[in-house]
Chains A and B, each alone.
Chain A
Amino acid sequence: MKLRIPKTVTMAAVAATILATTACGGILGGGDEKTADSGPIKIAAVIPLSGSSAPTGVFMKNGMQMAIDEINAKGGVLGRQLQFDPEDEACDPTQAAAAANKAVSNGAVVSVGGYCSGATLPTLPIFEKANIPMIIPAANSQDLVNQKLPNVFLINGTGVQQAAAAVKFMVKDGVKTVALVDDNTSYSKDIATQTKKDLETDGNVKVALSTSVTAGESDYSSVVHDIMGANPDMLYWTGYYQEGGLIINQLKAAGYTGKIMVADGSVDASLIKIAGAANAEGVFATMTQTPDTIKGAETWIADYTKKFGSAPGPYSTQSYDAVRVAAEAITKAGSTDGDKVIAALQAIDGFQLFSGPLKFTPEHTLTNGGFQILVVKDGKFALQDDLS
């Protein structure tokens, strides 16, 4: 008995070493070729593929894969094929830094990742040092913009833009009191604090309650109790759909009759399923354009569903766009050189994304956040107000 355990351990260690060396060999072998101006162009993505944000990470990975396959089928970029290198960051800053370093040493030319803002932040200086342009499809905390790095581009509206859209709609809709609930993540807190600030400046709408919940739980009766006590005209939930669905369900069960609005992290078909179709009916959302609200995106959804066996989820379109923007910039630059690609990105004007034509501001964010108001109608998100 005593002897058997070390033996198994040794065998496992040997097996692990063999696996590790072969894997490394493969990566290094590929890496040697591509530093030259031939061979595949490596597109890296540091995204959450494990951990609590893994569901969204998979949507992003699929969206990127779809764009890469499409571009490759059309002959690639500069006559070279694109090669996708997704790295797991598990929504964790430490793992994200390690994953970014790995992506750089694998020979990435462009990075199209970035979901959790907190985990994306430490990857910025790593890509900056390697002079690799980053097109961030999802992470949108103001902190990313505040770094003022030349290589960082955001193709998702920022929290500031989203909050402005939310406030605009609240005033327009005649809401007098509002409850702000976030889930304590950087993304969610960003929108909630900004909305609160905007509401105080605006002065038309009173914040009746401002609180946070812990993500990943099932029972939100305490926050429901607080909301019922504050009795606001509208609840604005700035977190993700998993908790959002539960909160809507439990609020309705508690007899809440006011309006509910959710932020873009909650815009997903699952929100309606989790909340229950009847409960979700009439829920508003602040959202950039999605395949569901864009005419002509039906084919895209069908292609995605056919390819991956499930419908596209949050940020799959933005991730798809990020790869296309990267390919466009490399084509325009005529080279994979970092400086040239960054210059090409800055010069992009009118490239068509799901969220509308693309042109970056001097801050490298979208000129127009493109936020609009959706409403759940007949169990589906539909356009309520484009806020124009």
Chain B
Amino acid sequence: MTQLIWNGLFVGSFYALIALGYSMVYGIIKLLNFAHGDIYMLGAFIGFATLSSFGIIPASMSITALLLVLLLTMIITGGIGVGIERLAYRPLRNSPRLAVLITAVGASFTLEYGVSAIAGPNPRVFPVRLQGQTFDVLGARISAPQIVLMFVAVILMLSLNSYIQRTSMGRAMRAIALDPKGSLLMGINVNKVITWTFFIGSALAGAAGVMAGAYYGKIDFLMGFIIGLKAFTAAVIGGIGNIKGAMLGGLLLGLLEAFGSQWLGGQWRDVFTFAVLIAFLTLKPTGLLGERVTERV
């Protein structure tokens, strides 16, 4: 039981990190950025490339090296997110919503098969593997790497939350989410804010990618697809466009999956997950934390 809860929370924190980017982008420009899961994949590959270029890393330095690579990757994937917005989404911002959605799917495939063409279609094994002791907590086995990764995820989420609540850029984001035209008239540089939103969202997804690579060890060019859909589900559960909702939704989805596959069997895990998505979309499309008139972001 405790093991199930812990497993759920651990996977859920990955979902939450990625769901944040989905939610922020949707909150501001009402776009479902389907390429977001692939930014996660890209993060894993960039982390892989940088770590490999370091040569052999002594085990004692691996955590430091990983954190360094994490930061670097966040900057690069953030930049790529901005680039995608500039190239694929901004020219279509005044087009019908469907056109942008299709572009997003196109961007997703471009990233997937672009990486496959550059890095090859074979799965790669991450050069640095997080290893450590395991502890017994209330009957659950918890390993040191899991604690480290959860800690990093929580720090990232908390700092994002305070960034959006406390800074002027965060205030601008919230303003645009409420009323883009009004914000423009009030002198907010809407393009700049949207760029920042993409940067932050993509940086978080990239961080999740590096963390997943270091923990699970295997990365491949299609790894972003399913997790992207799950992060989207998490965002919907929590109330899409709502930052706290995305975090809550991610953790909740992790728990739902852990318990769902325990009750129904492993092969039903994704059926269960996406059935929950359908249930939410039909019964409570605003999600758990969304209100009818919601302040998005």
Measured CB to CB, the residues of A under 8 A from B are: 50, 52, 54-55, 57-58, 181, 184, 211-214, 216-219, 221-223, 225-226, 242, 245-246, 249, 253-255, 270, 273-274, 276, 310, 313
Residue contact B121 to A222, C-beta cutoff 8 Å? no
Cβ 8 A contact of B3, one of A219, A225, A274, A313: A225
A-B pairs with CB below 8 Å: how many? 96
Residue contact A254 to B141, C-beta cutoff 8 Å? yes
**How many Å lie between the Cα of A313 and that of B122 in the bound state?**
10
Take A217-B226, A254-B141 as given contacts and tell me if A222 and B262 are in contact as well, using a CB distance cutoff of 8 Å.
yes
* Chain B proximity of A36: nearest CB distance (Å): 38
Take A212-B267, A214-B267, A276-B129 as given contacts and tell me if A54 and B116 are in contact as well, using a CB distance cutoff of 8 Å.
yes
Residue contact A219 to B262, C-beta cutoff 8 Å? no
Take A218-B223, A221-B258, A253-B143 as given contacts and tell me if A55 and B267 are in contact as well, using a CB distance cutoff of 8 Å.
no
CB neighbours of B218 from chain A (8 A): 218, 242, 245-246, 274
Measured CB to CB, the residues of B under 8 A from A are: 3-4, 7, 10-11, 14, 113, 116, 120-123, 125, 129, 134, 141, 143, 212, 216-218, 220, 222-223, 225-227, 257-258, 261-262, 265-267, 269-270
Which residue of A is nearest B6, CB measured? A221
CB neighbours of B11 from chain A (8 A): 219, 221
Residue contact B222 to A52, C-beta cutoff 8 Å? yes
Residue contact B266 to A226, C-beta cutoff 8 Å? yes
* Chain B proximity of A108: nearest CB distance (Å): 25
**How many Å lie between the Cα of A233 and that of B31 in the bound state?**
50
Residue contact B266 to A213, C-beta cutoff 8 Å? yes
Residue contact B122 to A216, C-beta cutoff 8 Å? no
**How many Å lie between the Cα of A58 and that of B120 in the bound state?**
10
**How many Å lie between the Cα of A219 and that of B262 in the bound state?**
14
* Chain A proximity of B6: nearest CB distance (Å): 9
* Chain B proximity of A106: nearest CB distance (Å): 24
CB neighbours of B113 from chain A (8 A): 50
Which residue of B is nearest A228, CB measured? B3
Which residue of A is nearest B121, CB measured? A54
**How many Å lie between the Cα of A136 and that of B277 in the bound state?**
41
Which residue of B is nearest A273, CB measured? B125
Cβ 8 A contact of B222, one of A181, A184, A216, A255: A216
Can you name 24 A-B pairs with beta carbons within 8 Å?
A: A52-B222, A55-B220, A184-B267, A211-B265, A211-B267, A214-B269, A216-B222, A216-B223, A217-B226, A218-B212, A222-B257, A222-B261, A222-B262, A225-B262, A226-B261, A245-B217, A246-B218, A254-B141, A255-B134, A255-B141, A270-B125, A273-B125, A276-B129, A313-B122
**How many Å lie between the Cα of A219 and that of B270 in the bound state?**
12
CB neighbours of A226 from chain B (8 A): 261-262, 265-266
Residue contact B270 to A214, C-beta cutoff 8 Å? yes
**How many Å lie between the Cα of A268 and that of B11 in the bound state?**
27
Residue contact A221 to B7, C-beta cutoff 8 Å? yes
Cβ 8 A contact of A274, one of B123, B266, B267: B123
**How many Å lie between the Cα of A219 and that of B7 in the bound state?**
9
Residue contact A216 to B226, C-beta cutoff 8 Å? yes
**How many Å lie between the Cα of A242 and that of B122 in the bound state?**
10
CB neighbours of B226 from chain A (8 A): 214, 216-217
CB neighbours of B3 from chain A (8 A): 225
* Chain A proximity of B127: nearest CB distance (Å): 11
**How many Å lie between the Cα of A99 and that of B222 in the bound state?**
23
Cβ 8 A contact of A213, one of B121, B257, B262, B267: B267
Take A52-B222, A249-B217, A276-B217 as given contacts and tell me if A212 and B122 are in contact as well, using a CB distance cutoff of 8 Å.
no
CB neighbours of B269 from chain A (8 A): 213-214, 222
CB neighbours of A276 from chain B (8 A): 129, 217
* Chain B proximity of A282: nearest CB distance (Å): 19
Cβ 8 A contact of B217, one of A181, A221, A274, A313: A274
* Chain A proximity of B219: nearest CB distance (Å): 9
**How many Å lie between the Cα of A276 and that of B257 in the bound state?**
26
CB neighbours of A246 from chain B (8 A): 216-218
**How many Å lie between the Cα of A73 and that of B270 in the bound state?**
50
Which residue of B is nearest A189, CB measured? B267
* Chain A proximity of B129: nearest CB distance (Å): 7
**How many Å lie between the Cα of A245 and that of B116 in the bound state?**
21
CB neighbours of A310 from chain B (8 A): 120, 122
**How many Å lie between the Cα of A123 and that of B270 in the bound state?**
30
Residue contact A211 to B222, C-beta cutoff 8 Å? no
Residue contact B125 to A274, C-beta cutoff 8 Å? yes
| Residue among A54, A57, A212, A222 facing the most chain B CB atoms (10 A cut-off) | A222
By Cβ-Cβ distance, the 3 closest A-B pairs, closest first, are A212-B267, A222-B261, A54-B121
Cβ 8 A contact of A216, one of B129, B225, B258, B262: B225
**How many Å lie between the Cα of A258 and that of B216 in the bound state?**
21
Given A246-B218, A273-B125, A310-B120, 12 more pairs with CB closer than 8 A: A57-B121, A217-B226, A219-B216, A222-B258, A223-B261, A226-B265, A246-B216, A246-B217, A253-B141, A273-B217, A274-B217, A276-B217
**How many Å lie between the Cα of A126 and that of B41 in the bound state?**
38
